[in-house]
Amino acid sequence: MMTTTQSPKGLYILGTGTDVGKTYITALWLKKLHEAGHDVAYYKAAVSGAPSISESDAGYVKQVAGLSQEDETLLSYVFDEAVSPHLAARHEGKVIDRTVVNRNFCHVVRTHTYTTVEGSGGIICPLHVTDTELYMLEDVVKDLGLPTIVVATAALGTINSTVLTVHYLQSKGIPVKGIIVNQYTGNPMEEDNCVMMERLTGIPVLDRVGPSETSLHMDVDTMLHCYEDIVNLHA
């Protein structure tokens, strides 16, 4: 439970796209902080392509990180079909409600010190679309008032997708604290990708994570400094 002497803090982890290992990195992130004795929690607005919470990205993170958090607090919406959340919701006759997302996030925040929110796919991800409404993943980040960490792959093409993601976030007034490079094997091209990402964005590469690693390399203090106080707790 959160102590009364420390303000709740939050951070949003998102990927440059689908299948870059965002959930894997989020799990290792929470695992390291939890093992260091910090009061951490996880939240994700919506996940598609999972039959239940326990079999979803959220369930994976909970298991790897060793969280005791109740399943129903991990996610607001879970859909079976592996398509964009707005389409999965539409096919099931449901609506991803902005008010519900904000309220559920704040429920988690009020009982933990460090809350980490995971995105769905890349930053340009529709959650609810009508002729007159457009609720996007970036709206979640802005509503919750969180800084971000961008997860990218080390592979060819990552310079483009990472720089575009960082610049898009910055153009929306969303702070970017760092980049984590996943699937890193240390070859010269991958290392040059990391150098170019930093040079073209001005954002540090905080970690290089190889396949099947069980822990992040970055130190806990650096991780904690990525969080910011949550100043706008929605009802």
Q: Which residues are catalytic?
A: 44
Angle CA(90)–CA(94)–CA(99) in degrees, nearest 5?
120
φ/ψ (deg, to 5) at 36? -85, 0
Identity of the amino acid at 174: I
**DSSP letter string, 103-168:** HHHHHHHTT-SEEEEE-SSSSS-EEEE-SS-EEEHHHHHHHHT--EEEEEESSTTHHHHHHHHHHH
H helix or E strand, kind and range, residue 88 = helix 85-91
CB 79 within 8 A of CB 92: yes
